[in-house]
Chains A and B, each alone.
Chain A
């Protein structure tokens, strides 16, 4: 099946620094990827839609200057948390939809393993 990989799986950074999380589709191309945030014991909240070759679309209430998203290729999207603070500590998960599935009328959406960010 399709695989979406995230890196790093866990990262600890100092307050005020920036950290980058990568999301890769390993065996398919994805023109669109999504970034979610999950607080402990809560559901997933969509942060933004990452569009290959264009600007990301952010959900209401998500600071685009703080959560920088870059989707430079059909298999890679990155989320950079800039000037991180302890309240940014969370579980960040990306998802991707195989372009080949869409072309065939399917609609599978796969998630990465998630990245735990701890800001100290």
Chain B
């Protein structure tokens, strides 16, 4: 089955760019997602990318997909303190709509 891995922690200064990385194993994943979770809250959908795309940009967010290496990244430009949260990448498992989540990356933005 699908396995999704992420680094656990990232610390950046306010105003810098943040890059959160994710690797996955299932090459048949058609969609890959990024979600943000603030303490005690649910998951907020940030963006998703279809597997036939290499890049997707949405305001401060840029998603890069390297299908050959099965590597996904989320870049947050001009990171703000409000961006401090846990970020999950997730892959859609095969033909179902079940999401397989990575362990989450805790982003800490220092003033």
Interfacial residues, chain A to chain B (CB-CB below 8 A)? 6, 32, 34, 42-44, 46, 49, 93, 95, 97, 107-114, 116
Interfacial residues, chain B to chain A (CB-CB below 8 A)? 30-31, 33, 35, 40-45, 48, 50, 88, 92, 96-104
Q: Is the interface of B mostly helix, strand, loop or mixed?
A: strand
Given B35, B42, B44, B100, which contacts A6 in the complex, CB threshold below 8 Å? B42
B102–A112 contact, CB under 8 A? Answer: no
Q: How far is the CA of A111 from the CA of B38 in the complex (A)?
A: 13
Most buried by A among B33, B43, B100, B104: B43
A114–B48 contact, CB under 8 A? Answer: no
Given B92, B102, B104, which contacts A107 in the complex, CB threshold below 8 Å? B92
Known: A42-B104, A93-B43. 4 other contacts (CB 8 A): A34-B98, A43-B103, A46-B98, A114-B43
Given A42, A95, A112, which contacts B103 in the complex, CB threshold below 8 Å? A42
Given A34, A49, A93, which contacts B42 in the complex, CB threshold below 8 Å? A93
A113–B42 contact, CB under 8 A? Answer: yes
20 contacts between A and B (CB under 8 A): A6-B42, A34-B97, A43-B88, A43-B101, A43-B103, A44-B88, A44-B99, A46-B98, A46-B99, A49-B98, A93-B43, A97-B97, A107-B31, A108-B48, A109-B99, A110-B45, A111-B45, A113-B41, A113-B42, A116-B40
